[in-house]
Amino acid sequence: ELVLTQSPGTLSLSPGERATLSCRASQSLSINYLGWYQQKPGQAPRLLIYGASSRATGIPDRFSASGSGTDFTLTISRLEPEDFAVYYCQQSGNSPYSFGQGTKLEIK
Amino acid sequence: QVQLVESGGGLVKPGGSLRLSCAASGFSFSDHYMSWIRQAPGKGLEWISYISSSSGTFFYADSVEGRFTISRDNAKNSLYLQMNSLTAEDTAVYYCVRTARRLDYWGQGTLVAVSS
């Protein structure tokens, strides 16, 4: 079973700062099957990134992502107030499909 | 625009059953895999089941295998989840999600609470 481990668990930053979130897979994963999602309280998750680095429709370009193999990164270049949320990585390349445990991005 | 609307959630006693429905619109439902993903209160996301576009392929997480059954009716643009032998650990918001290599559209979720 492929396990995704996200770090840090909580990230405290201020608006305008840069955020770097990590997702590590327990075994090598095709980039085609790695996604990132944002979830705000009381809302469904929203797709941000698919294929490890492609932004979904309507996602601002301050969101970028990269990685391959077992190490993947989501970067938010300049935090806006609306970016403070929980972020999940997700893989659909190995069954059972899975999510990381999430990184909470909170206002410092 | 793509819309996914779940229904059928509610309060059920341990050992009981519930059937969730998801009404899809705004896209060619019969062309897409669909999934159910759940989130327990204050917890992360768990992918519990998916079904292929033609209902020929299924996936179930170990946590629900043998108790939950996913199905779809392409003529009605609808996805279903039959949940039997429910326990407190099944308490969660259940999301209906359009599924490709990515989970690109999510419903708003329906809450299932299992309690005596």
How confident is the prediction along chain B (116 residues), in pLDDT tens digits per residue? 999 999 999 999 999 999 999 999 999 999 999 999 999 999 999 999 999 999 989 999 999 999 999 999 999 999 999 999 999 999 999 999 999 888 999 999 999 999 99
Our separate counts of H helices and E strands in chain A read 0, 10
Residues of A in contact with B101 (CB under 8 A): 32-33, 35, 50-51, 92
CB contact under 8 A, A44 and B106: yes
Residue-wise pLDDT tens digits, A41-71: 999 999 999 999 999 999 999 999 999 999 9
* B38 close to B18: Cβ distance less than 8 angstroms: no
CA nearest A98: which of B48, B32, B58?
B48
Q: Rounded to 10 degrees, what is the CA torsion of A25, A43, A64, A99?
A: 10
